[in-house]
Amino acid sequence: MSMLKTLLPSFALLRSRWLGCPLALMLTSTWALAQDKRWGPGEPASDYGDRFYDLFWLITILVSVAFALVVVLLVIPVLRDRARPGHRASFDHGKSLHDKRLTAIISIVTFIVLDAWVLVIAMKDLREAYWAIPDAKDPQTYRVEVLAQQWAWNFRATGVDGEFGTADDILTINELVVPLNRPVSFNMTSKDVIHALFLPEMRLKRDVNPGAINEAWFKPIKEGDFTILCAELCGFAHYQMYGKLVVLEQGQFNEWEAEASRLASTAFDADDTEAHWAWDWQE
Amino acid sequence: MNTTGTIELHGDAPVDHAPRETGRDRVNATLGMILFIGSWTMAFGTLLLSFLVLRDKIAVWPPAGIALPSAPIAGFATLVLAASSVFVERASRSLALAPAVGADRRASFSSLWITGMLLGLGFALLQAWLWYDLILAGRTQTSGLYESLFFGLTWVHAAHVLVGLSLLGWALVGSKRGRYGPARRSFISNAALFWHFVGIVWLFLFLGFFVF
Amino acid sequence: MSSDHIHPEPTTFLRKHVFSTDHKVIAKQFLWFGLIWLGIGGIMAMMLRWQLANPGVPVPLLGGLLFPRTGGVIDPASYNTLFTMHGTIMIFLGLTPAMIGALGNWCIPLMIGARDMIFPTLNMLSFWAMFAGGAVGFYSLFVPLGATEAGWTGYPTLSTTVGGVGQGETLWAIAVFLIGASSIMGGINYITTVIRLRAPGMSWMRLPLTVWGLFLTSILNVLFVPVIGSAMILLVLDRVFGTSFYVPASIMSGGTGGDPILYQHLFWIFGHPEVYILILPAWGVVCDLLSFFARKPAFGYRTSVGSMVVITVLSAVVYGHHMFTTGLSAMLGESFMLLTMIISVPAEVLFFNWLHTLWKGSLRLTTPMLFAMSVIFVFGLGGLTGIYLATIGTDIFLHDTYFVVGHFHLTMAASALFGTFGAVYFWFPKMFGRMMSEKLGKWHFWLSFVPLVIVFCIMFISGYAGMPRRYYDHTSVEYLRPLQHLNVATSVAAFLLGAAQLIFVFNFIKSRWWGKPAPQNPWDVGTLDWTIETPVPHYNFKTIPVVQCGPHEFSNPVLGPDTDWIYQTEKLPD
Amino acid sequence: MRGISWQGLAVAFGALGLLTSLQTSDDDNPHARAPRGVSLVVTEGAYLRAPGADWFAERAKAEPGRFTHDATLAGGIGGWVDAKGEYWFVEMEEGEWVYNQWASPERLTAGRRDFVQFCSSCHGLEGDGYGRSAQHLRPTPRSFQQNKFKFTKVIADLPSDEALLAVIRRGLAGTPMLPWDLSDVQLLDIIQYIKSLSPEESGWRDVYSQVGDAIEVTEDPWVDIKERAIVRGREVYHGAASCHLCHPGYVTNEELRVIRKDPEGTTYRENLTYPALKDSEYEVLGRATKVMPPDFTWHQLRAGITTADLFQTIASGIKGTAMPQWKGALPDEDLWALAHYVEDLIVSYKDQRPERSAFMGGLRTSGDNR
């Protein structure tokens, strides 16, 4: 207890009943926290989603150790080296060779443990996952052109003929249907302001810029309905710019694609050139 | 004040009724000005960087088939501005030499300085001509990226030309009234420095728009 | 022109208290200005937290006054305005004047032994440019078609007429420009003053670290604020004159147009150094305060200075980590990731030095000391979470989620704010001639520190769970609905944090006029500012002092058993 | 140097005033197009049409002294101020005006501001339905110069304020028209402004046009006998109402013949199980667009999918398209039956992919439906 007393310079405060209110509120907030059923982004639904977990927790462990060290080193002097009669601080400018060596060693260790380690893994992840955009010519690759706008996602898929800009292009707003276990490759641009395509379950986020085409990809490994969010401020209805991502097993997907394509060709109005917005696929 | 800082001052804070500029003051003022110019170099560097980045977006530079600002006028303007800088610098230096060479240097300062200013004014007029020419051809800042760049950057530069000319004018009036002179010339040398800076910025704009 | 020529003390009210060229008066002006804006920005934060915790419920007290057309509910546009202006105000109108303006003006001349800033008139202009910026920014809240809504980063094309046609955004850009001009003026002044007006004997390695922090900040100010100035000029040209620097041509219809990404580059070339602009003075203050109150020399003075310099340099070349999701090329992305991570090395040296300064000291846990120590904690938390964001793999998920919000609030907001609080508590006696209440100060500290850590730690959790920032209402998306509890908890803690600041306001006002008169040197500290009497006389030093030793000669054995400190003007006994 | 600071400040503020006074004008704004009709400069940020300007001008000529000046200059928008200082949005006269609403200049101004802020990115600064984000968008955002609204669920051409409010509040599912979180005050102001955008002598500015009452949700006669309602609805859909002409027919040709009691050998349109693209009156860039009637088992419906919503939508028809107003043409009982039938189609097959495939596939195997 005496340790605790030394920890809090104004320990008397604790005995004050006034502290009860904020403490109660803090307990309330902790309780509210504990009510949450979902503390993380959920299981990844894309094949590279696990990499995010692994890297995140690796960094968390490293950072926690470093932070714990800092806190311990901060608390020990508070407990041990408080000013009191007869106690005098040791006089040390930290100029000795020993100190310099220590500084250098800690720097190098920090760099290797905290930085280089993470860096190497991160680079590997990037090259094998995020930047390994699949080959568009591969028939396995499902290509989607994304045209973002205030405040909706326009998606365009090739339809059964595999060509953009034809009558059977599947056009959807705020809803994207993709096949399971096939890489989905995006070409994205925006009509007006910057948006960001955010598929939290797929661990994918990429800005969608007007006047330029950005690429992104993921490979869904789970069937079901997922979330599409916008992650870049795009005006006051930013929070309403969300959609649904549907991952279908290949057989069902083919059926869906054939029907969607057919309906799209029905709705196609060749004279209405304004409505045709596909562009040449960009690698 | 003395650099060693050991003068004992008695009573209330001392008052210096006849401010004279020491060599130390001049260094202070020049250092401040150099920092300012360094800072403004970053500002114009940013504009030039933007220029390069955006220029890179246009496949053909300058864009084909549009009216361009007249290169001969711009070239002439460059020469005028360079000459102006030379005159201003000579004027500023003549002031520095004044105590050694003689009092008539002040007259020589005035004439050189005024010549520099007039040349600067000439540059401003040529610049206006460039704009006028382009606007006559139906090109304004809203016409496209090239025009945006040309008008936008030259406007910002022209604002500095105007500030520079005001500074030169202020220095001239001050020297006529005896506020600035050989003994108190850091404002004048700083104004000259700023004017050179404005000239150098123009040089880059000229190179960017008309040469490369 | 020059501060070396001493002018008589002004006698008119206007010259003495309003348009004064005295650095001490300007410092106080900056302090009041900054604190008032911190208050306004804080109230905005409270309103934001209210909306997030209770979407669509009228704001109590202020709502009916501010949002009459919606019956007190914050509408989506006002919400965007609020967070935009909260960021802008806190950074440009709160911390910048309170930290750099007030602290720099107060500390630099007094700590280096100068009678005033080297360019007093420029100094005055610096404040009034800031004031004008504040006025324009405030006015922009009330213009038709809405104030700015594009976030404090003001990314085009949302900030051009494509995203908003009102005047607010234009005025916002002009306000930022004016504030930038103020920072540049201040920076030029600080740098020249430190270079030219150090008292005899005050060598570079005898400068208090506060001055070092401010000096390096000024360098960053002078070099990088012009970049945002130019970016703002282009933005204003786009908005007002219809140029197309940032407005791109459509992919589908073609034509020539500008590049919105250009703005992001320009903004972050400035924006990243801005983080260090705010944090470096706080680091300097922390270095000094830890040494002062641990009664121990600042451990590794040279390495501390060195790491601050290295960070200053690095801050200029790491800005790309703000743009990992923008579409940077792989090569650029990896380079920026590497450079960003390198920052952890000098930062770690600073931490090591801070902790070592405390080690085996004789700690006096006064309020300034508590705030200085809390910076170690808070900045540690914020800095270490920076690694997640420096790593592209994790940043891709965490970018623009609440994780980022938590991270930068802990680093640049909370650390700089706590550094500022520490500095205010520390220099208050010299500034106003009265002591601040220690008891209230400690209340303020604990009631700020604990909720603050809670607020931003919950943000890490919600960010990790994928909650995007700048959402008006997280309950609108099914995916985010289960996380609403986190928002509620954050808000509860945030209201506590906000309420705790009332203690500070009370303490500040009460102590300013009715506090205990301060002795000349209440903290037993040897830097030059404490060698002169309180209140500080006009022109500070009747005699320019001659510096004989460093600022941190605490507990030096040669001082004998009776005292553990020595003025910088005194010679260390042999 | 001391003097400079004052002048400098003055100059800085002067320049500031100058800069802010020069806002983007129509010429400078690449997104604004040449305004149609009368245009007047307004102060904040954009040129906007001033509806009613010429009407009032004529009025003013006929009655000298009645109106004093253009309210646009007085901070209002699109109206005139009379000698008494009152602002007139639309003149009330002899009770012929069905919608004799009076809107204060403050209200219209507020409405215009909110419109520009919230709506103009799609509906355009002039309310012409072609803002920057409307490019390439199908279905097109409404042009408020056309006075036609699809999903307002009213009898006549023009919807009431309440109907418009409901549309904005609900949003249009499957389009970028969001359910707007604005207050009633804001939305009603916006609505007043939208009404003022009608062109000369038409829409809300036409003496003879009528603001319709909302379709009343009558009592559902099938409430306890849903199955029978669906059977009846199927008959009406393919029989009396002939919905299958535009929407898909959810029967085989043989079944259709039976329902319609047509002689053996009658053929129906090709692709009976697919919708047919239809002309509409909605113009974009001067050209009428086509609309696709929804396949209820596939497409998202814009105006709600509860039975009551469907009843109202069917009863009111969809203005400006091939979907007529069925109220009056069919007894309410049949309208309700249709609503039940459509609801059943949605519930049973939309997003139920295997069920839908089986159902539609079964219809198509007969060959002549392909």
Nearest by CB to residue D292, choosing from A150, A240, A267, is A267
CA torsion B80→B86→B88→B89, rounded to 10°? 160
SS3 content of chain C, % helix, strand, coil (to 5): 65, 0, 30
As a whole number of angstroms, the distance between CA A178 and CA A180 comes to: 7
Give the residue from C396, C438, C549 with the most A CB atoms within 10 Å of its CB, the best one to mutate: C396
With bands split at pLDDT 50, 70 and 90, how would you rate the model's confidence at C573?
A: confident
Give the residue from A225, A256, A272 with the most D CB atoms within 10 Å of its CB, the best one to mutate: A272
Instruction: Quote the distance between the C-alpha of residue D308 and its chain's center.
Output: 20
**Which residues on chain D are in Cβ contact (under 8 Å) with B187?**
1
> ipTM above 0.90?
no
Residue C437 has pLDDT above 70, yes or no: yes
Residue D72 has pLDDT above 90, yes or no: no
pLDDT of residue D34: 27
Q: Lowest-pLDDT range, B20-29, C88-97, C445-454, C499-508?
A: B20-29
pLDDT of residue C167: 76
Residue B44 vs residue D162, higher pLDDT: B44
pLDDT of residue A1: 45
Q: Which of A54, A36, A180, A187 is nearest to A121 (CA)?
A: A54
Looking at residue B46, its amino acid is T
Domain at A142-275, CATH from 2.60.40.420, 3.20.20.70, 3.60.40.10, 3.40.50.2300: 2.60.40.420
Q: Tell if the CB–CB gap between D298 and A263 is shorter than 8 Å.
A: yes
Mean pLDDT value of segment D34-59 = 36
Residue D6 has pLDDT above 70, yes or no: no
Strands D287-291 and D278-284: antiparallel
**Which residues on chain D are in Cβ contact (under 8 Å) with C163?**
121
Residue A14 has pLDDT above 80, yes or no: no
pLDDT of residue D93: 29
Residues in chain B: 212
Mean pLDDT value of segment C116-124 = 92
Coil, helix or strand at residue B43: helix
Averaged pLDDT score across all residues of chain C: 91
Residue C557 has pLDDT above 80, yes or no: yes
Mean pLDDT value of segment C520-539 = 91
Nearest by CB to residue B152, choosing from C192, C227, C237, is C237
pTM, to two decimals = 0.88
Query: Which of D 41-60 lie inside 8 A of C, CB atoms?
Result: 43-46
DSSP bridge partners of A145: A156, A187
As a whole number of angstroms, the distance between CA C530 and CA C539 comes to: 15
Buried b (16+ CB within 10 A) or exposed e, D139-168: bbbbbbbbbbbbbbbbbbbbbbbebbbbbb
Other C-beta atoms within 10 Å of D351: how many?
13
Closest Cα in chain B to D24: B142
Mean pLDDT value of segment D164-169 = 91
Query: Which of A 103-122 lie inside 8 A of C, CB atoms?
Result: 103, 106-107, 110-111, 114-115, 118-119, 121-122
With bands split at pLDDT 50, 70 and 90, how would you rate the model's confidence at D35?
A: very low
Say if C564 is an interface residue toward chain A (CB within 8 Å).
Answer: yes
Calculate what percentage of chain A has a pLDDT beyond 70.
86
The CA–CA distances, whole Å, from C76 to A194, D109, D258 equal: 18, 19, 55
- Give residues with Cβ within 8 angstroms of B9, minimum separation 6: C542, C543
Cis peptide preceding A151, ω within 30 of 0: yes
Nearest by CB to residue A192, choosing from D133, D357, D360, is D133
Chain B and chain D share a number of CB contacts under 8 A equal to 5
pLDDT of residue C379: 94
As a whole number of angstroms, the distance between CA C129 and CA C113 comes to: 27
As a whole number of angstroms, the distance between CA C457 and CA C409 comes to: 10
DSSP bridge partners of A183: none
Residue A9 has pLDDT above 80, yes or no: no
pLDDT tens, A47-59? 998 888 889 989 9
As a whole number of angstroms, the distance between CA C137 and CA C131 comes to: 10
pLDDT of residue D58: 56
Locate the domains of chain B by residue range: 8-211
Its CATH class, for the domain covering B8-211, is mainly alpha
Mean pLDDT value of segment D266-280 = 87
Residue C554 has pLDDT above 70, yes or no: yes
Give the residue from C165, C244, C472 with the most D CB atoms within 10 Å of its CB, the best one to mutate: C165
With bands split at pLDDT 50, 70 and 90, how would you rate the model's confidence at D212?
A: confident
Closest Cα in chain A to C345: A107
The chains found to touch B (3+ Cβ pairs under 8 angstroms) are: C, D
pLDDT tens, C323-345? 999 988 888 889 999 999 999 99
pLDDT tens, D173-202? 889 999 988 888 889 888 887 887 777 677
Mean pLDDT value of segment B184-194 = 91
pLDDT of residue B9: 41
**Which residues on chain D are in Cβ contact (under 8 Å) with A271?**
287
pLDDT of residue D298: 92
**Which residues on chain D are in Cβ contact (under 8 Å) with A269?**
277, 289-290
As a whole number of angstroms, the distance between CA B178 and CA A270 comes to: 81
Residue D46 has pLDDT above 80, yes or no: no
Nearest by CB to residue C234, choosing from B36, B63, B152, is B152
Cis peptide preceding D331, ω within 30 of 0: no
Are D278 and A266 in contact by the 8 Å Cβ rule? The answer is no
As a whole number of angstroms, the distance between CA C45 and CA C43 comes to: 5
Mean pLDDT value of segment C24-28 = 94
Q: Which of B142, B206, B186 is nearest to B25 (CA)?
A: B186
Closest Cα in chain C to B11: C542
Mean pLDDT value of segment C144-161 = 85
The shortest C-alpha distance from C327 to chain A (Å) reads 6
pLDDT of residue C406: 95
Strands D87-88 and A243-248: unpaired
Residue C505 has pLDDT above 90, yes or no: yes
The CA–CA distances, whole Å, from D163 to D113, D153, D156 equal: 22, 7, 12
**Which residues on chain D are in Cβ contact (under 8 Å) with B179?**
none
Mean pLDDT value of segment C104-114 = 94
Nearest by CB to residue C223, choosing from B1, B42, B147, is B42
With bands split at pLDDT 50, 70 and 90, how would you rate the model's confidence at B184?
A: confident
Are C532 and C541 in contact by the 8 Å Cβ rule? The answer is yes
Q: Tell if the CB–CB gap between C400 and A203 is shorter than 8 Å.
A: no
Residue B41 has pLDDT above 90, yes or no: yes
As a whole number of angstroms, the distance between CA C529 and CA C112 comes to: 8
pLDDT of residue C256: 77
Query: Which of D 7-66 lie inside 8 A of B, CB atoms?
Result: 27-28, 30
Mean pLDDT value of segment A125-145 = 90
Q: Lowest-pLDDT range, D88-102, D188-202, D234-248?
A: D88-102
pLDDT tens, B46-84? 999 999 999 888 878 888 888 888 889 999 999 999 999
**Which residues on chain B are in Cβ contact (under 8 Å) with D4?**
170
Calculate what percentage of chain C has a pLDDT beyond 70.
98
pLDDT tens, C258-317? 899 999 999 999 999 999 999 999 999 999 999 999 999 999 999 999 999 999 999 989
Quote the crossing angle between the two packed helices C344-358 and C301-315, to the nearest 10°: 150
Calculate what percentage of chain B has a pLDDT beyond 70.
86
As a whole number of angstroms, the distance between CA C288 and CA C209 comes to: 6
Mean pLDDT value of segment C81-97 = 94
Averaged pLDDT score across all residues of chain A: 85
Residue C344 vs residue A21, higher pLDDT: C344
Q: Which of C106, C122, C116, C112 is nearest to C34 (CA)?
A: C106
Mean pLDDT value of segment A155-161 = 92
Locate the domains of chain A by residue range: 43-80+98-132, 142-275
Domains of chain D: 1-33 (no CATH), 46-212 (1.10.760), 226-364 (no CATH)
pLDDT of residue D65: 52
Mean pLDDT value of segment C543-555 = 91
Query: Which of C 79-138 lie inside 8 A of B, CB atoms?
Result: 113, 118-119, 122
Residue C218 has pLDDT above 90, yes or no: yes
Nearest by CB to residue B142, choosing from D1, D4, D30, is D30
